[in-house]
Amino acid sequence: MRTVIFDLDGTLADTSGDLLAAANVCFRALGHGDVLTTATDAGTAVKGVRAMLTLGFDRLGIDYSSADIDANFPVVIDAYARDIARYTTLYPGAREAVSRLRDNGYKVGICTNKPEGLAEQLMAELDFRDVFHSLVGADTLPVRKPDPKPFVEAVMRAGGDPSRAVLVGDTQTDRDTSTNAGAPSILVTFGPGGREVVALKPEALIDHFDDLDAIVARLIA
């Protein structure tokens, strides 16, 4: 069965606003006020909590260690879980594109480096979970992207065939995951990385989800 697996953050949805807001909850608790902004730091947000904390501490110019990052990690996660979808929006055409794929007989799934519980919570709050046949998060398996196993697991749980599957993403991690799995990748240019993803030389690029159907059909005919 032909299968399309999607990354979540920066691919299906712009989650940067809520991620950065959660990091700022942490910085405010430490007495520093809001340190990160969506205008400048959306690209860091989709790299994860540790990346946001590192950027924030660097910006403050204070001494910190990996222990400080570890100690504040759960503070950010808790803040994010409490208010996970205040600012998050699906990218234009995402919902419709997934529906079209299903209508055309494809299996669809999600493979994300967001913890599985948070990914399930977010997709439910966006009313977008039930259309996907599978969801594999950062902690579903002992390994995470760019290891190929989560991608393959997402395909298998969807009822698909890894030899007839494609990964839709937006980062170097997604590109490396598809390469490691021996699968083609489609990278979106509307995520935080913009057209910088061209340099990653994926099998295809899309500027809008309206373009997805024809490219998927070509790559996994």
Any residues with CB less than 8 A from the CB of 211 and at least 6 apart, and which?
none
**How is residue 65 written in tokens?**
């260690």
Distance CA 181, CA 136 (A): 15
Distance CA 184, CA 7 (A): 14
Nearest to 35 by CA among 6, 1, 64, 66: 64
How far CA 190 is from CA of 73, 131, 212, in Å, comes to: 28, 22, 13
Distance CA 209, CA 212 (A): 5
Active site annotation includes 68: no
Q: Which residues are catalytic?
A: 7
